[in-house]
Amino acid sequence: SQQGEEDPQALSIQEGENATMNCSYKTSINNLQWYRQNSGRGLVHLILIRSNEREKHSGRLRVTLDTSKKSSSLLITASRAADTASYFCATDAWDTGRRALTFGSGTRLQVQP
Amino acid sequence: KAGVTQTPRYLIKTRGQQVTLSCSPISGHRSVSWYQQTPGQGLQFLFEYFSETQRNKGNFPGRFSGRQFSNSRSEMNVSTLELGDSALYLCASRNWIAGGQQETQYFGPGTRLLVL
């Protein structure tokens, strides 16, 4: 079963605009990770944020985590056509005995050149 | 370091057949996980192996099985294939840190299986 729901399911923006994707999850976590997937290929790890962190940056990526609301957001600034992909959040809750990543349903991002 | 590799990349089988997929983790990674991705169910966890032992298993029927070898390479097998087994099968490896803390998983390109 999927832990999280992502919102929106699909997003279309122009190059240069910012893209924001949201992820909600149901149970307590140790960390939350964001992955990108290009057209049915493998997943590429983008960023990991731990449960005791509130915000993290990596290049054009900014991730926030609100454990009280069980939600996270991924912001991609100054988007490029190459950012077109599906983006997934995944939660990790290893100290509860659940050792597998649980993925959200994904957001399909289309960046128009 | 070379990334996670999976073979074959594409596979076509018919109902009732069995299939074996292979995954070679990143050098030094001892944990290998398998996931199934379908349009309807999304990404779902199959199982995880560490040091040749299955550590965790998802909610899949017994037709799905796996193993890990001493060099950390892993295989998964699906017997008596059904149409619904058509999916992208992804393998991921990660470093196992003392205490069990999970860190980043690195995914392979996947094997796309089509069952006719």
Record: contact B42-A106, CB cut-off 8 A: yes
Contact predicate A36/A108, CB 8 Å: no
Phi, psi of B22 (to 5 degrees): -120, 150
Q: Is the peptide bond before A8 cis (omega within 30 degrees of 0)?
A: yes
- Which residue of A33, A43, A49 to mutate against B (max B Cβ within 10 Å)? A43
Q: What is the Cβ-side half-sphere exposure of residue B12, based on CA atoms within 13 angstroms?
A: 1
pLDDT of residue A96: 58
pLDDT of residue B73: 97
pLDDT of residue B17: 98
Record: contact B102-A31, CB cut-off 8 A: yes
- Which residue of A3, A31, A94, A107 to mutate against B (max B Cβ within 10 Å)? A94
Q: In this complex, is the C-beta atom of A52 within 8 Å of any C-beta atom belonging to chain B?
A: no
For residue B98, name the pLDDT band (cuts at 50, 70, 90).
low
* Average pLDDT score over residue span B33-41: 93
Using CB atoms, which residue from A42, A92, A98 is nearest to B109?
A42
Q: Around Cβ A40, how many Cβ atoms within 10 Å?
A: 12
- Among chain B, residues having any CB pair with chain A shorter than 8 Å are 4, 33, 35, 42-45, 48, 55-56, 58-59, 88, 90, 92, 100-110, 112
Q: What is the pLDDT along chain A (113 residues), one digit of tens a residue?
A: 445 678 899 999 999 999 999 999 988 888 899 999 998 788 999 999 999 999 999 999 999 999 999 999 999 999 999 999 999 999 987 655 656 788 999 999 999 99
Q: Is the peptide bond before B8 cis (omega within 30 degrees of 0)?
A: yes
A44-48, A103-107, B100-104, B108-112: least confident range: B100-104
Q: In this complex, is the C-beta atom of A31 within 8 Å of any C-beta atom belonging to chain B?
A: yes
Highest mean pLDDT among A28-42, A83-97, B39-53, B77-91: B77-91
For residue B99, name the pLDDT band (cuts at 50, 70, 90).
low
* Average pLDDT score over residue span B48-66: 92
Record: contact B42-A2, CB cut-off 8 A: yes
Distances (CA, A) of B41 to A40, B24, B54, B58, B77: 14, 26, 23, 13, 20
Record: contact B33-A45, CB cut-off 8 A: no
pLDDT of residue A2: 44
In the chain, the amino acid numbered A105 is: S
Q: How many CB pairs under 8 A join A and B?
A: 63
Residue of A nearest to B99 (CA): A95
> In Å, how far is B56's CA from the nearest CA of chain A?
7
pLDDT of residue A99: 66
Residues A31, B104: Cα–Cα separation, whole Å: 10
Share of chain B above pLDDT 70, in %: 93
* Average pLDDT score over residue span B79-101: 86
Q: In this complex, is the C-beta atom of A113 within 8 Å of any C-beta atom belonging to chain B?
A: no
Residues B97, B109: Cα–Cα separation, whole Å: 24
In the chain, the amino acid numbered B91 is: C
